[in-house]
Structure 1
Amino acid sequence: MRGADKILLSLAALASAAPAHDPKPFSLFEYKTIWQAPPGVRAFYPRLTELKDGTLLVTTGTSGNRSLAGLSSFPVFESKDGGVSWKQVSNITDQVNGWGMTAQPAITEMTQDVGPYKKGTILASGNSWSFNETAEGVGTKIDLYASRDRARTWEFVSNVAVGGRPNTTNGADPIWEPYLMIYDNQLVCYYSDQRDPDHGQKLAHQTSKDLKTWGPVVDDAAYDLYIARPGMTVIAHIETINKWILVYELPIGNSSSYGSNYPVHYRIADSPLEFQSAEPLPIVINKEFAPNASPYVVWSPVGSKKCGTIVVSDADNSQVYTNQACGDVDKWEMHATPQPAAYSRALHIFKKHPDHLMILGGSTFDFDEGDDPNLSASVVSLTEVVKGKYDKKGCDSRR
């Protein structure tokens, strides 16, 4: 049996085992499995986008599936009822390198025309890499794919950037962690970049007005201290004040901040193309706790009339971190959620339900014994989270 067939059978088994009474469409729910990973496989680093009609598309990196289904790929799942039910609609596969789509997926819907690609086209990216010498060589490649049929089929569009062999050692030259955003009738691809000899790693972006050709590398967070390694760009628009927030992790050698070795930082700028000149700020709770690693950020108009609510997630804890003061560095709060900690969880605020916060997760980075390998999500009331509905239940720390 082919690996793809095994995955489909796994999904069918999951569907047959689903509870008899699912939540109502677009309702709140705590922890629901989207994809039950086959034996030996785990989901990690999930990403999602909401289409104009409210359809959700989710994709995820997978590990351990080379023996199961050949080269790694990103399965794509669709929900038309706010995350209550899901079906797999495609796989995003490497069509050009012979390496697979190895890790760190990105997905978004085009909200504007860009070159020959029309509004409503689905774009996806990820890191295709090879450790070992092959006929195709070794390296890391951030490639762009497009779907004109609502994520059913995918076509290779262009290569955004190329780096060296996957290696997180300072002095190596790979690239990592793409993040896609349509802005001002162009596509912006943000990523982590180790190729600059002046920086162990920096955050950068490139833009394209036709999705085929790409402009120069522009710095978003590059520190004078060589061993500083900002990573894992995620961006949100704070609509009430028309500013943009960038969150990232910031390891610096063996140092730590309040016990976090990858403390979460953020910058707020007038333009999503001008973060390098914005002030870098840490997220610290009550001057005693710093979120750790692979942050994600969203914004909701719910909360403060002037500022709404900024919501940030990290890798090591089930909590989220909220700010209803337009990003004031002294106004961060921590609140528990029912969704377990996971490597690079994703967040989402529903366009027609701005109080609904989806927390999307997979496995943890180290995947300790007993950890959940599946792709899963919770949809909770942001208002109730901020009021502390789950705080009394305690929190789940994987640190």
Structure 2
Amino acid sequence: MRSAVATFLWLAAQAGAALASPRPAPPAPFQTFTNRTIYDPHGKARVMYPRVAELDDGTLLVTASVMGSSFFSRDAAFPIFESKDAGASWTWISNLTDQVNGWGMSAQPALLELREPLGKFKPGTILASGNSWSSNGTRIDLYASTDRARTWQFVSHVAQGGAPNTTNGATPVWEPFLLVHNHELIVYYSDQRDPLHGQKLSHDLLTWGPVINDVAYAEYLARPGMTVVAHIPPLRKWILVYELPVGNSSSYGSHYPVHYRLADDPTQFDAAEPIAIVVDDGKGNKIAPNASPYVVWSKEGGKNGTIVVSDADRAAVYINRAGGDPGKWEIKDAGQAEAYSRALHVFEKRQEALAVIGGDSFDGNGWGGLSLTVLDVREWWGGGKGCKERRA
């Protein structure tokens, strides 16, 4: 079994790019399409936990975790792919590797382009984070690229904890998410180090001062996880989504039900009301989204725009056109298979265009590769499926 890095280098040597195997011609640029392959890992490698960033000029960057036969691999890396045509075609441009720990960049990547100066970094700098782990610990590390993701430089350790272990009482850190707010970089993450909580959601600022709670429950067994944050301009609020397992409890069959909080300030979520997403499927059934949520906002859909949430267990997504009203969630077909921690993206200059990016399922029952669907959310208002071109 090749290591993740060796696999990518082999593909590049064979075909001049990471996309080596024959496949259908790409769809037309800046159109809707379904299940466009970004990367096919071949063999037994699995691609999961994709993340996306749109650059100032409209370029898309996508990365993901690549899991091989070994849970601990010093060669583990996040491949970086680039698209200049809104996801229709892709080129592998680099690997983000562990430069300091000797542990590998193991899982849970995050991406962000700076649109303003931040410390020593100029606008256009791309920041990346991820979880570097081994049997000795977990480290959420921050890297920067000043050449559009071609090369990467280590910046700092954001947070570090014990070895990866989801058992309550263990002390790892997980799942970073990056946001710039009020001229500061915020790094959100899941935190098992507090002895008062099995797990909580925390964040640090660029100076990496004291840990600040975002979501922490008094019940020890509660394990909020997998922070993603988005801005909702018409409400002048921010939304945080997270999964919330509590022991062996469930909500409408979901053991990791998705919750959200709305706050005026993205550093003040801990004081906000927790709300579970529950959807009526139109057939008299209640549905609770399950696990690894992602959230984005589009200005399409009315005066409040549309909040879009993804989960791990359904190909559909969940939308809210009523400013987050708990009773106004709807479920809509997204044309992209269920996967562990799918990513969503609304194009900055095409707010009707929603990208849904997925990889393998958590249990390994999916295809295993990295792919995306781009749909037109305006189709939902007319009862359509959001994507007219059905296959790419």
| Same fold? TM cut 0.5 | yes
* Mapped partners of 1:385, 1:372: distance in 2: 27
1:17 corresponds, among 18, 22, 44, to 22
1:307-344 CA-to-partner distances (Å, cap 9, x unmatched) read 10000000000000000000001000001121000000
SS of 1:151's equivalent? coil
Given the alignment, which residue of 53, 58, 61 partners 1:54?
58
Bigger drift between 9-18 and 328-337 goes to 9-18
Quick one: distance in 1 between partners of 2:241 and 2:248?
A: 21
Q: Could you list the runs of 4 or more consecutive aligned residues of structure 1 that deviate by over 3 angstroms after TM superposition?
A: 1-4, 9-16, 385-388
Structure 2 equivalent of residue 121 of structure 1: 125
CA distance in 2, matches of 1:25, 1:119: 27
Partner residue, 1:362? 359
The alpha-carbon deviation at position 296 of structure 1 amounts to 0.2
Contact 2:18 2:39 in 1 (8 A): no
- Report what 1:135 is aligned to: none
Which residue of the other structure, out of 198, 205, 208, is the alignment partner of 1:207?
205
Q: Distance in 2 between matches of 1:59 and 1:292?
A: 23
* Counterpart in the other structure of 1:396: none
- Kindly state the Cα deviation for residue 14 of structure 1 after the two structures are TM-superposed: 3.9
2:60 is matched by which residue type in structure 1?
L
Q: 1:190 aligns with which of 181, 188, 191?
A: 188
Q: Is contact 1:3-1:70 (8 Å) kept?
A: no
Structure 1 position 87 matched with structure 2 position 91: yes
In the other structure, the counterpart of 2:159 is: 161
Take 1:40 and 1:161, find their aligned partners in 2: how far apart are those partners?
Answer: 31
How far 1:280 moved relative to its partner?
Answer: 0.2
Equivalent position amino acid for 1:342 in 2 = A
Q: Is 1:10–1:36's contact at 8 Å kept on the other side of the alignment? A: no
Relative to 1, partners in 2 of residues 1:322 and 1:386: Cα closer, same or farther, differing over 3 Å?
farther
Which of 270, 274, 282 does residue 276 from structure 1 map onto?
A: 270
Partners in 2 of 1:13 and 1:216 — Cα distance?
Answer: 41
1:385 deviation in Å? 3.3
Q: Deviations over 1:75-128 (max 9, x none)?
A: 000000000000000000000000000000000101221111111100000000
What letter corresponds to residue 178 of structure 2 in structure 1?
A: L
Kindly report which structure 2 residues correspond to 1:234-383, keeping only aligned pairs within 5 A, or say none. 234-286=228-280, 288-305=286-303, 307-368=304-365, 371-383=366-378
CA distance in 2, matches of 1:11, 1:298: 34
CA distance in 2, matches of 1:389, 1:294: 26
CA distance in 2 between counterparts of 1:13 and 1:196 reads: 41
Structure 1: distance between partners of 2:375 and 2:54: 17
C-alpha RMSD of the superposition: 1.9
Q: Which residue of 2 aligns with 1:176?
A: 174
- On the 8 A contact 1:7/1:38 being kept in 2, the answer is no
Whether the 8 Å contact between 2:17 and 2:92 is mirrored in structure 1 is no
- Distance in 2 (alpha carbons) for counterparts of 1:184 and 1:302: 26
CA drift at 1:18 = 3.0
Relative to 1, partners in 2 of residues 1:10 and 1:173: Cα closer, same or farther, differing over 3 Å? farther
- Cα pair 1:11 1:36 within 8 Å, conserved: no
Counterpart of 2:113?
109
Q: 1:38 — aligned with what? A: 42
Equivalent-residue separation in structure 2 for 1:128 and 1:51 (angstroms): 25
- TM-score (normalised: structure 2): 0.93
**Which of 209, 216, 226 does residue 210 from structure 2 map onto?**
216
Give structure 1 stretches of 5+ with no counterpart: 132-137, 394-399
Q: After TM superposition, give the deviation of residue 70 of structure 1 in Å.
A: 5.8
Find the aligned partners of 1:322 and 1:343 in 2 and give their Cα distance: 19
Sequence identity percentage = 58
SS of 1:299's equivalent? Answer: strand
Q: Do the aligned partners of 1:44 and 1:343 also contact (CA within 8 Å) in 2? A: yes
Report the CA distance between 1:32 and its aligned residue.
0.4
- Hey, what's the Cα distance between the residues in 2 that align with 1:329 and 1:151? 39
Question: Are the counterparts in 1 of residues 60 and 86 from structure 2 also a CA contact under 8 Å?
Answer: yes
User: 1:30 touches 1:377 (CA, 8 Å); kept in 2?
Assistant: yes
Structure 1 residues 47, 249: closer, same or farther in 2, change over 3 A? Answer: same
Q: 1:13 to 1:93 in 2, by over 3 A?
A: closer
Q: Residues of 2 paired with 1:324 and 1:105: CA distance?
A: 29
Deviation for aligned residue 1:350: 0.2
Q: Is the 8 A contact 1:10 1:37 kept in 2?
A: no
**Cα distance between partner residues in 2 of 1:170 and 1:10:** 46
* Aligned 8 A contact 1:199 1:226 in 2: yes
Gaps of 5+ in 2: none
Q: What is the TM-score of this pair, normalised by structure 1?
A: 0.91
Amino acid aligned to 2:292:
S
SS at match of 1:317: coil
The 1:47–1:65 alpha-carbon spacing in structure 2 relative to 1, beyond 3 Å, is farther
In structure 1, C-alpha distance between the alignment counterparts of 2:257 and 2:18, rounded to whole Å: 40
C-alpha separation in 2, matches of 1:328 and 1:11 = 49
